[in-house]
Structure 1
Amino acid sequence: MSAPPAPPVRVPAWSLSRSAIWLWVTQGVIGTLVYGVLVAVLVLGVPASTGGPLPVLRWLLPVLLAVYAVVAIGVRPWIRYRVHRWEVTEETVHALTGWLTRTWTLVPVARIQTVDVTRGVLQQLYGLASVAVLTASSQGTVRVPHLEVAVAHRVADDLARRAEQVRDEAT
């Protein structure tokens, strides 16, 4: 018996939920607030009369924080939404992730051992869930983040059912 032909490498068809943008914006706001507190402590903790490079930090750190805020809140969520893709075909699960480092992952349905649906705190706030498709290989896990809850459950149920059918056919 020969192995089935490898599926073509292509961009997966589906984007994440648009609510993922607002989840990432919220994460950017939270990150900016945390870094803002650290910057405030550092800037207010440095005496103004101190010589050397420390006075430069009084203006450089807030500028860097502002740049971080613009990227984390105004740019990164929109780019991530455009580049994160996923698709489930008859034979495989595809995911394309990353906005700076792109990762394309493909898992054959026949290799699926477990399908998990998880919902973090912010995901719950935005009605989202993530699907993790796990195989025996540590490199074979596909994670599809930030799907609408109903879609995530449908995908997980469908994949679990198909993986079970493939196992039944193999025995």
Structure 2
Amino acid sequence: MHARWWLLASGSSQAGPEFGTGVTVGAADSGTGGAGTLRLRPPVHRVDRRAVTWWRTRILLAGAAPVIVLVVLGSLLSEARWWLMVPAVAVAVATAAAAAGMPMWWYRVHRWEVTGDAVYTRTGALWQEWRVAPLSRVQTVDSERGPLEQAFGLASVTVTTASAKGALTIPGLDHRRATDLVHALTEATQATPGDAT
């Protein structure tokens, strides 16, 4: 299994405000190795448990589309029926296997945390990506809820940073917790001196 760390820049060493719904921006020593440097370490919070069902539904919907197309074409084109039904069955089996296993694995891997200094994320499946974004480098914080996320009461938080690597995304959060996280992160970054350019 391959893991990549991305440390965007060092940030300030001050404590931030308390987050709602049990999320706290901790003291400097919880995310730093001392004197303005960030210690690379795994984040501690899991995504919401409902994210498993959300991911599973997304996989099933994505796999259902080609299966339906192949089955409809196979029923209309009798001379090519077997050439279309075999891939339809293969896609259906692959989709079912992915829906059964991948969401639980993603739930075990995906982690996030916010301290007084930085936002930590870990995402991925076989190739895991660990990222640390100092609060001094955060430019914007947004919450997004697609139709499927709304159906499951979830939201994703996107933290845009002054980094060529791009934004950090924390998917699969309870929508109330995501809202509290956006407000608290916005307050914490406004109170953190630094260069978010």
Structure 2 equivalent of residue 65 of structure 1: 91
Structure 2 equivalent of residue 130 of structure 1: 156
- Greater fraction helix: 1
CA distance in structure 1 between the partners assigned to 2:97 and 2:173 by the alignment = 23
Q: What is the Cα deviation at residue 58 of structure 1? A: 4.6
Question: Gapped runs of 5+ residues in structure 1?
Answer: none
CA distance in structure 1 between the partners assigned to 2:145 and 2:95 by the alignment = 26
CA distance in structure 2 between the partners assigned to 1:8 and 1:118 by the alignment = 29
The structure whose RCO (Cα within 8 Å, separation 6+) is larger is 2
TM-score computed with the length of structure 2 as normaliser:
0.73
- Greater fraction strand: 2
Q: Flag the structure with larger Rg.
A: 1
Structure 1 equivalent of residue 109 of structure 2: 83
Structure 2 equivalent of residue 40 of structure 1: 71
CA distance in structure 2 between the partners assigned to 1:167 and 1:40 by the alignment = 59
Which residue of the other structure, out of 28, 35, 51, is the alignment partner of 1:20? 51
Percent identical across equivalent pairs? 32
Letter in 2 for 1:69: T
Q: What is the Cα deviation at residue 78 of structure 1? A: 1.0
TM-score computed with the length of structure 1 as normaliser:
0.83
Question: Gapped runs of 5+ residues in structure 2?
Answer: 1-9, 12-34
Q: What is the Cα deviation at residue 109 of structure 1? A: 0.6
Paired residues, what number? 162
* 2:64–2:92 contact (8 Å) kept in structure 1: no
CA distance in structure 2 between the partners assigned to 1:43 and 1:99 by the alignment = 34
**Cα shift readout 1:72-126 (whole Å, capped 9, x = no counterpart):** 3211111111111111111110111111321111100111111101111111111
